[in-house]
Chain A
Amino acid sequence: MINKLPEAHGKTAFINARLLDPATGLDAKGGVLTDGEFIVEAAQGLFDDSVPEDAAIIDCQGQCLAPGLVDMRIQISGKDFANVGASAVAGGVTTAVCQPNTTPIVDDRAVVEFIARAARKAGLTKIYPYGALTKGLEGQELAEMGLLAESGAVAFTDATQAVSNARTMCQALSYASTFGLMLIQHPEEATLAEGGVMNEGETATRLGLTGIPKEAELIIIERDLRLAKMTGGRLHFAHVSTAESLDLIRAAKDKGISVTCDTAPPYFALNETAVGDYRTFAKLTPPLRSEADREAIIEGLRDGTIDAIASDHTPKSEDMKRLPFADAAYGGLGMETLLAITLELVHNGHLNLLEALGLITQHPAELLGLSAGRLKPGAAADFIVFDPDRGWQVTEQGLHSKAKNTPFDGRPVQGRVLKTVIDGRLVFDLDA
């Protein structure tokens, strides 16, 4: 990684690139000209004839140049924003949205401002926070969503807990819609899932582990779809993981209910057998599901029922993972494998390259109303150069994150970020 500059100065020409912009459908040879923090021009054939004399030149050598990834869900544990940033830029993530379950919890304006400031100071990935939906994430009293939104919270959620009280969720949707704010629900009915540590089914039975039935997810989705219809509130489901979840959301979208959803790479790239021999790196929430569910998630990505892919990046220390399966923490790393695992959908013929990129750039940015995720003149110069075909293996040593708990540990993957540019600064360069 090269030393980062405090600010970008002057013009830089990224020449000889394959430009990919899902927002416009652009897929052509061309270049990008930046001036300071901003994109001046991104176009087919740019620099074919000449390069501005006053610009520094970066030769992309025919590789893909796309908007920086927009990761709509990460968790930040502790206050090591520099490490979060290092992991993010290595994965090509230029904008990330963090869960409100930080310490302290994002239920006060001061915390929103603290996170924005800490991320700016680290100078790497731009981090926006979600606001808490209820005070202290306790599911009781509504948090000050209006004031939090004014301070910069992009949407509201109780992180990895569903709001269990139907009336509270109803009032939250109603109140949030007063200001046009979006609520994000972690769809898991807590009392049904209680004590469960992996998907209920044959694997759990063989391993002797307590299962979490898929109905725990379905109950909350069904309930909240009704509440969204009743209140007109804007609802988003995080990391949907079952086939029937998609049936419900697909039908609700057809009826015009204001609902969207995302999934995370583990749910289309792994199934419950990844738990294998009690691998705690595969202990996630929601749990890895059956193979039929995994295939349905891919279909949901193909047909547009799923609007975006989030990494669900959740660093956990060895102390919290090197435990008996039932006692280990939930969650896995995600930012550094987000591009490569998403590109598996391309290599396996499920999506084309622009469709796959759209799910991790333009779509999440639009869902959250962020001006990111596209190659647009005048926009911040946040983009990546990547090789969609370069093979590599996910290993502990290769990860920039201090925590190493990736569910894809050891997996050979294809597709690698070569350069990451944020606000016109080259903040990651693989081959430097």
Chain B
Amino acid sequence: MSDMPFDSSVFPQRHLLGIEGLSPVDISLLLDRADEYVGLNRSVGGKLDTLSGRTVMNLFFEASTRTRTSFELAGKRLGADVINMSVSTSSIKKGETLIDTAMTLNAMHPDVLVVRHASSGAVKLLSEKVNCAVINAGDGRHEHPTQALLDALTIRRRKGHLDGLQVAICGDILHSRVARSNIHLLNIMGARVRLIAPKPLLPAEAERLGVEVFYDMEAGLRDCDIVMMLRLQMERMESNFFPTMREYFHFFGLDYAKLQAAKPDALIMHPGPMNRGVEIASDVADDIGRSAIREQVEMGVAVRMACLEVLSLNLVHEEPSVPEEVQDELEGDEA
């Protein structure tokens, strides 16, 4: 842990809805704090009471195992009460019912809502209707800020810095919220970003996000420090973004032959879950020397601890805590 006492009051956001709009200072603050938690998580019995008495609610409108578990663990390590709510997407189709759900949950007074939703913008809509802090755990194709933060922390710990690095993000950019959050974060922190994908998997005017676009893996990977592979999101594809898996892997799957173009010490990353043999060859993914894929998962917990802590400390400043007796009375009135 650092010598300086941690002051979260400098984090100017009530919610963490996306990376876009954050400053380099905001991001560094979260990364520094998360970095401190990495050590704690590695020690036995490393549990804190920072969020003791706080309630974190995981509200997942879309199936997730790793992100939800990661948030759950992060909350518990900080001493919070964590509740998991999985809502089947079929029962929530209209904006109105989403807001109804939000109002219902709000009445239960959680401190932090961690929300994942299949529709871009749904988390922001929900955040406008609740009094607690909201963390976006992935909304449609829009943003997945904690993933970008954990990727950044992984890179920073391996390379020592983010600025000036050449980062290639490869694969299904079109459907990827991870890509969008990473593009924003890396640009904010001074890294240079390249996108590599077959054209149908690139969103329109991608260059306008401040990236270089390549359609060829070897050209795009040339001299890169970081190679970020994305999962092919088959569940989001109607059809015809590319002909077959076989052809996709041949031209865009990461194998050692294509990796030759990158720097010899290039770090390989993947947000998981991987489609082995589709976007990444198994031997590359499992290369202990070069692949940071498992480390990314570890960083995820630390980053989410930092986010939960920073946002819940901000809550105190906004809403001075109400004495419990008064709060009980209020709740009684509502009922």
Contacts and interface: CB of A to CB of B under 8 A. Distances in A.
Nearest to A232: B199
Contact of A143 (B215, B243, B250): B243
Contacts of A140: 239
B198 A178 contact: yes
A167 B237 CA distance: 13
B199 A146 contact: no
Residue from B198, B215, B241, B246 having most chain A Cβ neighbours under 10 A: B198
Interface residues of B, number: 14
Contacts of A171: 200, 240-241
Interface in B253-303: none
A175 B244 contact: no
Nearest to B239: A141
B247 interface: yes
A143 B241 CA distance: 11
Nearest to B214: A178
A177 interface: yes
B11 interface: no
Interface in B68-105: none
Contacts, number: 48
B251 A146 contact: yes
A172 B241 CA distance: 8
Given A144-B244, A145-B243, A167-B240, A174 B199 contact: yes
A165 to B, nearest CB: 9
A231 B199 contact: yes
Contact of B200 (A135, A143, A175): A175
A114 interface: no
A392 interface: no
A320 interface: no
Contacts of A144: 243-244, 246-247
Contacts of B251: 146, 178-179
Contact of A146 (B200, B239, B240, B250): B250
Nearest to B238: A167
A142 interface: yes
A175 B247 CA distance: 12
Contacts of A141: 239-240, 243
B242 A175 contact: yes
Interface string A126-137: 000000000100
Nearest to A145: B243
A273 interface: no
Given A141-B243, A171-B240, A175-B242, A147 B199 contact: no
B215 A142 contact: no
Contacts of A146: 243, 247, 250-251
A168 interface: yes
Given A147-B247, A147-B250, A179-B215, A142 B199 contact: no
Nearest to B247: A144
A142 B250 contact: no
B200 A147 contact: no
A135 B242 CA distance: 12
A178 B246 contact: no
A147 B252 CA distance: 12
Nearest to A175: B200
A142 B242 contact: yes
A174 B200 contact: yes
A135 B239 CA distance: 13
Nearest to B204: A230
A167 B251 CA distance: 23
B250 A175 contact: no
Contact of B240 (A168, A177, A231, A232): A168
Interface in A153-198: 167-168, 171-172, 174-175, 177-179
A175 B198 CA distance: 6
A142 B251 CA distance: 15
A140 B243 CA distance: 10
A171 B239 CA distance: 9
Contacts of A135: 243
Interface in B206-253: 215, 239-244, 246-247, 250-251
B275 to A, nearest CB: 18
B243 A178 contact: no
Contacts of A142: 240, 242-243
A111 to B, nearest CB: 15
Contacts of A168: 240
A179 B200 CA distance: 12
Interface in B162-219: 198-200, 215
A178 B199 contact: yes
Nearest to B240: A171
Contacts of B215: 177-179
Interface string B7-38: 00000000000000000000000000000000
A7 B239 CA distance: 48
Contacts of B250: 146-147
A131 to B, nearest CB: 11
Contacts of B200: 171, 174-175, 178
Contacts of B198: 175, 178
Contacts of A167: 240
Contacts of A175: 198-200, 240-243
Given A147-B246, A174-B200, A178-B200, 17 more contacts: A140-B239, A141-B240, A142-B242, A144-B244, A144-B247, A146-B243, A146-B247, A146-B251, A167-B240, A171-B200, A171-B240, A172-B240, A174-B199, A175-B198, A175-B199, A177-B215, A179-B251
6 contacts: A141-B240, A142-B240, A142-B243, A143-B243, A175-B241, A178-B199
Q: 4 shortest A-B CB distances, which residue pairs?
A: A142-B243, A174-B199, A178-B198, A144-B247
